[in-house]
Structure formats: C-alpha cells, structure tokens
C-alpha cells in the first residue's frame, strides 16, 4: 500500500506519524503541506472521504489560525469559504493528512493509523 502523506517537517505530530510509517514499513509519498497545499478540489474530496466536517481540517492550535481569528470566522462561514481558506494557506490545515485515494485521516492518532493504514 502506498499513501500520500501531507506534512510539515517541523511539526512534532507529523514526525511521529512519519516515524510510525517508517516502522510499519508503509510506502508513502510525502508532500510539504505549506509549499504544496492541497487544492480546493482535493480538500473537498478529502473532507468527503474522511467523513468529518471541514472544521476538523483546521489547525486550531496554530499561530496562523489565531492571528487570522479563524475561530470567529468559521462560526458563520460556509463550507466553500472554509475550503478556500484552507487551500490558500497550508499552515491553517491540521496535519498530517494521509490518503490512499479512498480514505483520509487528519492528524495523528496511532489507533486510527493502525486501523486504516497497517493493512
């Protein structure tokens, strides 16, 4: 199995996920989420595949999220607006995002990774 792994190399959570992939010997293509963020179209697909609301794709603990007052902005925003914001700045996106083209995980939860990626 090969997956696409959107990450930010300085992110501790991303490093844990990468270490897990390496230990379990799962092939992945790493994509720098800030230099090459997913497009609006990709994000729409990822939200649908994940089964999670688009709000779960925001990096709520990030500096950029706080600077832009996203907590207040997303309260009244449409899904379309939220996807545009996420696509415009990879630092707003919760990471890592992992997909095999059929399913998507957001963030790193070892139990969820074992269930979905250690096949």
Tokens 């595949």 — which residue? Answer: 49
Tokens 């957001």 — which residue? Answer: 106
Question: What values do phi and psi take at 6, rounded to 5?
Answer: -85, 120
What parts of the chain have a pLDDT lower than 50? none
Q: Give the SS3 label for residue 28.
A: strand
Residue range 42-51, pLDDT digits in tens = 999 999 999 9
Task: Locate the domains of the chain by residue range.
Answer: 2-117
* Under 8 Å between Cβ of 35 and 90: yes
Q: Which fold has domain 2-117?
A: Glutaredoxin (3.40.30)
CA 20, CA 110: separation in Å to the nearest integer? 8
pLDDT at 2: 87
**Spatial CB neighbours of 85, under 8 Å, sequence gap ≥ 6:** 70, 73, 77, 92
pTM confidence score: 0.93
pLDDT at 7: 97
Q: Give the SS3 label for residue 38.
A: coil
Residue range 59-72, pLDDT digits in tens = 999 999 999 999 99
Residue among 76, 35, 33 nearest 55 (CA) = 76
Degrees to nearest 5, angle at CA 117 with 112 and 119 = 120
Question: What's the Rg (C-alpha) of the chain?
Answer: 14
């Amino acid at each position: 199995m090969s997956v696409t792994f959107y990450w930010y190399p300085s992110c501790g959570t991303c490093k844990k996920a990468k270490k897990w992939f390496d230990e379990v010997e799962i092939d992945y293509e790493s994509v720098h989420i800030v230099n090459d963020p997913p497009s609006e179209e990709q994000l729409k697909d990822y939200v649908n595949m994940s089964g999670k609301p688009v709000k779960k794709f925001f990096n709520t603990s990030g500096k950029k999220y706080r600077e832009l007052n996203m907590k207040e902005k997303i309260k009244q925003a449409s899904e379309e607006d939220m996807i545009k914001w996420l696509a415009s700045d990879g630092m707003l996106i919760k990471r890592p995002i992992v997909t095999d083209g059929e399913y998507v995980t957001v963030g790193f939860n070892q139990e969820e990774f074992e269930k979905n990626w250690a096949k």
